[in-house]
């Protein structure tokens, strides 16, 4: 089972981003657009994980969630690329909540002997991938998001399983944990 730690995207944010991406989708039909229901913000990627390591990961993540506080996030309208294969929408934190959580997740997993990928954390939602023999376009114009439509408060995190499937992976939550404490404003 391939696992990763992620934050879910609320339906209201999925709707706002879907609306903002509509003009791009109409112009770039050669991209494989990720279904909004699959959008998530990855904090750490564990990869193939045997059950013993998965159980250690769940204990470590429960410990992180027990001390992490909810925090606000924002789609800031920027789009970017990873190479010429992935198009993503930027996510920003009003404070250090997101970076702190990603660091705590990776540190606690490492302490539990659970290896994660070593790529630097970049807050983003993958929205499209290039099809074979195509590339993702460079997009310099920010998305037109309705005022306040891209704001939400993160209140839980999840350990997710990725199951390869034709046309892209399928995701399911293995376990979720609420973030405890008073929300930051």
| pTM of structure | 0.90
pLDDT of residue 168: 60
Task: Please report the domains of the chain, with CATH numbers, ordered by start residue.
Answer: 2-178 (3.90.1140.10)
Residue 167 confidence (pLDDT): 58
Distance CA 36, CA 19 (A): 11
The residue among 143, 138, 122 whose CA lies nearest residue 16 is 143
d(CA 106, CA 126): 20
CA distances from 111 to 25, 42, 89, 107, 178 (A): 42, 19, 31, 6, 21
- 14 burial (CB, 10 Å; 0-12 / 13-18 / 19+) is middle
pLDDT in tens, the chain (185 residues): 899 999 999 999 999 999 999 999 999 988 999 999 999 999 999 999 999 999 999 999 999 999 999 999 999 899 999 999 999 999 988 777 999 999 999 999 999 999 999 999 999 999 999 998 899 988 888 888 877 788 999 999 999 999 776 656 689 999 999 998 645 44
pLDDT of residue 96: 75
């Amino acid at each position: 089972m391939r696992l990763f730690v992620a934050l879910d995207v609320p339906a209201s944010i999925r709707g706002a981003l879907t609306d903002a991406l509509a003009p791009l989708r109409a112009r770039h039909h050669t991209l494989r657009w990720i279904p909004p229901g699959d959008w998530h913000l990855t904090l750490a990627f564990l990869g193939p994980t045997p059950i013993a390591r998965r159980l250690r990961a769940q204990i470590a993540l429960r410990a992180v969630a027990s001390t992490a506080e909810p925090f606000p996030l924002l789609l800031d309208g920027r789009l970017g690329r990873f190479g010429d294969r992935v198009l993503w929408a930027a996510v920003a934190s009003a404070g250090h909540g997101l970076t702190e959580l990603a660091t705590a997740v990776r540190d606690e997993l490492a302490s539990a002997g659970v290896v994660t990928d070593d790529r630097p954390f970049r807050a983003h939602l993958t929205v499209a991938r290039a099809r074979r023999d195509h590339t993702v376009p460079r997009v310099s114009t920010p998305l037109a998001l309705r005022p306040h439509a891209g704001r939400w408060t993160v209140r839980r995190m999840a350990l997710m399983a990725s199951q390869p499937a034709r046309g892209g992976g399928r995701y399911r939550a293995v376990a979720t944990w609420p973030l405890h404490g008073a929300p930051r404003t």
